[in-house]
A and B are shown apart, each in its own frame.
Chain A
């Protein structure tokens, strides 16, 4: 059965069973992956899923669920179970009726049939090209994954919404090793024609080569340049903190800061459901409301939290098209560019580091924003505006609100970042952050 029909039929069944509000979202996805390591292919994966998400309310009682069994019999049983369970719950003071449509949805061109119907052997060809190119530059070992995903999504709600959409993306996450050193490369695209896998391979290999000769460093406060990959990792936590759910739960460092200066004037951060090349394209949210551009931070000032209709009511605001029934969240974050290029940022640094990748960002206190994160892959020591040598074993140990205020420059160049460590797609520039605490392990 077509997913559009599944959505409307499940909605019809829920209404018949007594649901007052209901939202049904059916997603059909096809994900193909090739993973490689040590210059060889390690596994291929092909995953076909149809998932049905349902939100139901009866008498202000609220329940939601997902089933991965889209047969008609199973869906009827699932709908009955949800309705039956919903009736046993207590009414929620946070209940708000689903928004009434119809709505006008943004258009986009983030679908490429060449990704959905990917030519047989093409992904394997890419892997070979990536390994060959990395080795030509001087890489010893290459590891990574290419993922091609196509998804169709359909929604039907009791608010009168019936809408469908489709999108594609192709992603490369790659690492090149030279001895103990490594470099990282990413390519993220909605279209095959703009999938620059060889650029990523070249960057990873070049970084790995340059990172071989390591020099000394000591703990302290430094000016640090974050690559777009690192900047995206940090910024995604700003996106998380902008959720009204995080604010209500007491785990947001942006709590109580609306209309206050939370970052340097150079920082403008937008969440967009749809943008050219957005990796997580969504034209509607989980309540059927159209997505839009939400300016979270405008020239350093916090302008809005991200809302669904329930959180919006409690904050005396309007939905921002960011549902999540429970947790409103960003779709695609975008950091506004500035006028610098990377060389100019490096020249701005008297003593500091260029960090090309990081992982394992963890918070001691989400409300205060105290955190640390580990640079991985190529990291370079900068002295008097020039890159001197590579370094290893650093840890950024700082405070996120303070770092946002210590941003002093951003580049024109931006990249879409979405990989294992960055789960909210983010269009990020290189960012220079002053007075950043850098520590190292004993032993």
Chain B
């Protein structure tokens, strides 16, 4: 950390002296580098050094957050005074006082696995990687030229020093690397703006520069580029009658995130995000209700090594662990911070995250996924007389209670008598959450993750996450088409 660690302790001590019952302070730095290659020409490289102090206080049940990026002893005192003053002014409107659940507080240093430090990587090396990728895809595939290409590689190093008045004292470091792209593919006089990977996501992990070797981006972009070039040539519409549907891990991970992870966020359930990201179809008494078949298993786990959403302690000093959200089709657990845990008379499961010093910690997912089963891909297909395999997607959305959702396939194939056949154009899965999870009857044993940025909060926070899952099979689904 480049800032003086004593400033965080000063903030906590000073807040307590001003009468707050709880104070936490977080020195939070994100060092980011982004390289872009547009149509084989480099755009300006981007360096960002975001660095400052965020402070939260609870004062007679009123919560206030403040931040400054000019941390000195005086500015920290000024900030704490401002935050306490704002908390005091809001007491009259708080209603039920906000309380934090009692938790064991963490201390010490934790970090993601890292071999080659990102700070030692030259921007020219990053650009060379993009050039190599561009060379792999620039001519397109199968007679489909990739006429426009925007390739991006981003690295970030997130360092935090966190202290609170309940005794937490933590330092951490998480480096991350991700690669993404926009491509315009031309075929038959039409243009298709697609992304590699599909679905506006990226390939990415936490770790140092060795991540790039693990990701094998050239192989990935070549395979994905080739598959997507074939996909844009498809003209056949999906069957209009109800059919069995096999979904690829990219789609499954997104569904897990959107229709299982988000509705399980306890702050949404309690209405705190009502005017922004929305609420939830799940209610406060929703634990134990059935929303899916006995094959529906969804978890969120911040502790997966190398994951984008990796952490070992959350932004409230609570130790992270895996959370099983849906178990055999039944809602098993919500995502909690200390405030919602208190309301639900439970313990926090360490879901409190903040992406920068000037953002309030709020309940977030980390790495949300459908747990793998025991089917091979061939076994998922073998008894399907007529079906559709949706491997990847582009368009998706879901309503603000996470009930009514839609995923539009990009790479998709017809399934006939247990075998993959010709490509299908843009099959649309427009379905409710219970219908989706109730139609699930088999899960593959493969498990793959994709990197994504999850948006929530006001001001907005884009949190690094993984979404993942195996191939899964849904029975008897009516698909739409454009």
Contacts and interface: CB of A to CB of B under 8 A. Distances in A.
Contacts of A143: 271-272, 274-275
B376 interface: no
A40 B96 CA distance: 8
B434 interface: yes
A175 B274 CA distance: 7
B43 A326 contact: yes
Contacts of B277: 420
B363 to A, nearest CB: 13
A371 B428 CA distance: 12
A430 interface: no
Interface stretch (B60-68, B310-318, B414-422): B60-68
B405 interface: yes
Contact of B191 (A40, A88, A173, A368): A368
18 contacts: A37-B274, A42-B98, A67-B48, A69-B69, A88-B122, A92-B44, A124-B89, A127-B93, A143-B271, A249-B150, A250-B148, A250-B193, A370-B482, A376-B278, A376-B399, A393-B399, A420-B275, A443-B436
Interface in A31-54: 31-51
Nearest to A78: B49
B343 to A, nearest CB: 11
A132 B39 CA distance: 56
Interface of A: 31-51, 55, 62-71, 74, 78, 81-82, 85-86, 88-90, 92-94, 120-121, 124, 127-128, 131, 141, 143-145, 173-175, 177, 245, 248-251, 255, 325-326, 359-368, 370-374, 376, 393, 395, 397, 420, 439-443
A73 to B, nearest CB: 10
Contacts of B85: 120
Contact of B460 (A49, A249, A325, A420): A420
B182 A43 contact: no
Interface string B35-48: 01011011111111
Contact of B70 (A50, A62, A120): A50
Interface string B144-169: 00011110000000000000000000
A75 B320 CA distance: 36
A48 B357 CA distance: 11
B274 A141 contact: yes
A177 B213 CA distance: 51
B12 to A, nearest CB: 17
B304 interface: no
A254 to B, nearest CB: 12
Interface in B100-143: 122-124, 127
B184 A440 contact: no
A44 B94 CA distance: 11
B41 A40 contact: no
B395 A442 contact: no
A54 to B, nearest CB: 9
Contacts of A67: 48-49, 51
A255 B428 CA distance: 26
A46 B193 contact: no
A68 B51 contact: yes
A64 B39 contact: no
Interface size class of B (residues with CB under 8 A): 35 or more
Contact of B358 (A41, A49, A373): A49
Contacts of A359: 278, 400
B45 A63 contact: yes
Interface in B398-437: 398-400, 404-406, 408, 410, 426, 428, 430-432, 434-436
Nearest to B65: A45
Nearest to A55: B44
Given A70-B69, A441-B404, 4 more contacts: A41-B93, A47-B358, A121-B89, A175-B275
A325 B44 contact: yes
Contact of B275 (A90, A121, A173, A397): A173
Contacts of A175: 274-275
Contact of A47 (B51, B66, B182, B395): B66
6 tightest A-B CB contacts, nearest first = A443-B435, A250-B184, A250-B148, A40-B95, A143-B274, A65-B47
A100 to B, nearest CB: 20
A32 to B, nearest CB: 8
B395 A371 contact: yes
B397 interface: yes
A40 B94 contact: yes
A360 B398 contact: yes
Nearest to A63: B45
B124 A442 contact: no
A64 B46 contact: yes
B192 A368 contact: yes
A94 to B, nearest CB: 5
B276 A420 contact: yes
B93 A393 contact: no
Contacts of A366: 182, 193
A37 B269 CA distance: 12
Given A175-B275, A250-B148, A48 B431 contact: no
Given A45-B66, A46-B66, A442-B435, A124 B399 contact: no
Nearest to B430: A441
Nearest to A71: B70
Contact of A364 (B96, B191, B408, B477): B408
A43 B49 contact: no
Given A62-B44, A251-B184, A35 B52 contact: no
B92 interface: yes
Given A74-B2, A90-B124, A393-B404, A365 B276 contact: no
B182 A250 contact: yes
Nearest to B91: A41
A249 B480 CA distance: 30
Contact of B183 (A131, A250, A397): A250
Given A45-B360, A443-B436, A174 B41 contact: no
B405 A441 contact: yes
B190 interface: yes
A92 B69 contact: no
B458 interface: yes
Contacts of B79: 46, 48
Contacts of A120: 85, 89
B14 interface: no
A88 B123 contact: yes
Given A40-B96, A70-B69, A362-B397, A367 B184 contact: yes
A37 B47 CA distance: 37
A411 B44 CA distance: 43
Given A44-B87, A441-B404, A365 B192 contact: yes
B47 A81 contact: yes
B381 interface: no
A440 B478 CA distance: 12
Contacts of B50: 66, 68
B229 interface: no
Given A37-B271, A372-B406, A441-B404, A46 B86 contact: yes
B397 A44 contact: no
A443 B430 CA distance: 9
